[in-house]
């Protein structure tokens, strides 16, 4: 396997936006049943949905404005760039929040996909769009995320290798037992996994 692209989730993977999604679900009164929040909000009455989206925008904007880079984020992006591996950001967050995060932390991605660009994860849409824009086949990419939604979207897009970082137990419960992925506790551990994958790249040359 030769890695030509790394696709990253944003919140909880590269940036700690300090959003407690379980608490959020409590505030907008939707259950934590493993489905994406936006799909759940779509099922509410028009009034409840409008209120839910308003709360979501407030939480996300606050998260984008005050969140911090997770330890090791700059290093893993630098490692990939140093080996000519393209980097994409694929987030269910809004474009405005993603752009604010990118600007605040001086990040650089070859392409950025947000919920404003298509169907959110766990659908493969945003992942497929990222691969197409980068001109990379699914089996030449690795996905790095922290949620079951990241893994499900990457698998649906045909990406064989996903690294899940510090995934909470309630999310792990929504991953089918037969689905393969690499679980690590920190971004530093993910860094070591990426080094191993890139090592395979060079040995093929």
Is residue 120 a contact point for Mg ion (CB under 5 A)?
no
Q: Which of residues 134-153 bind Mg ion (CB under 5 A)?
A: 146-147
**Cα–Cα dist 132/34, whole Å:** 28
140 vs 146, which CB is nearer to Mg ion? 146
Chain centroid to CA 13: how far?
Answer: 7
Q: Which of residues 8-67 bind Mg ion (CB under 5 A)?
A: 9, 11-12
| Shortest Å, Cβ 200 to Mg ion | 26
168 vs 199, which CB is nearer to Mg ion? 168
| Shortest Å, Cβ 10 to Mg ion | 7
**Which residue lies nearest Mg ion, judged by its C-beta?**
12
**Cα–Cα dist 73/106, whole Å:** 12
Write the DSSP assignment of the chain as a string of letters.
----EEEE--BTTTEE----HHHHHHHHT---SSS-HHHHHHTS-HHHHHHHHHHHHHHHHHHHHH-EEPTTHHHHHHHHHHTT-EEEEE-SS-HHHHHHHHHHHT---SEEE-GGGSPPTTSSHHHHHHHHHHT--GGGEEEEESSHHHHHHHHHTT--EEEEES--HHHHTTS-TT---EEESSHHHHHHHHHHHHHHHHHH-
| Shortest Å, Cβ 121 to Mg ion | 9
* 74 to 113: interface string for Mg ion, x by CB under 5 A: ----------------------------------------
| Shortest Å, Cβ 135 to Mg ion | 26
* 170 to 199: interface string for Mg ion, x by CB under 5 A: ------------------------------
Q: Which stretch binds Mg ion (CB under 5 A): 1-9, 81-89, 113-121, 181-189?
A: 1-9
9 vs 125, which CB is nearer to Mg ion? 9
11 vs 161, which CB is nearer to Mg ion? 11
């Amino acid at each position: 396997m030769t890695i030509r692209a790394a696709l990253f989730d944003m919140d909880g993977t590269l940036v700690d936006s300090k959003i407690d999604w379980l608490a959020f679900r409590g505030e907008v009164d939707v259950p934590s049943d493993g489905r994406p929040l936006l799909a759940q909000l779509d099922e509410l009455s028009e009034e409840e949905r409008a209120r839910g989206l308003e709360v979501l925008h407030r939480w996300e904007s606050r998260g984008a404005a005050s969140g911090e880079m997770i330890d090791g984020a700059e290093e893993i992006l630098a490692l990939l760039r140093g080996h000519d591996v393209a980097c994409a950001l694929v987030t269910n967050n809004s474009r405005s929040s993603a752009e604010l995060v990118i600007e605040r932390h001086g990040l650089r991605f070859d392409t950025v996909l947000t919920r404003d660009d298509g169907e959110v994860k766990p659908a493969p849409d945003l992942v497929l769009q990222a691969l197409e824009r980068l001109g990379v086949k699914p089996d030449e990419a690795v996905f790095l995320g922290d949620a079951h939604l990241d893994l499900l979207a990457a698998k649906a897009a045909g990406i064989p290798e996903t690294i899940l970082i510090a995934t909470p137990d309630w999310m792990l419960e929504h991953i089918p037992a037969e689905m393969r992925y690499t679980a690590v506790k920190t971004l530093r551990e993910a860094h070591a996994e990426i080094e191993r994958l890139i090592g395979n790249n060079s040995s093929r040359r």
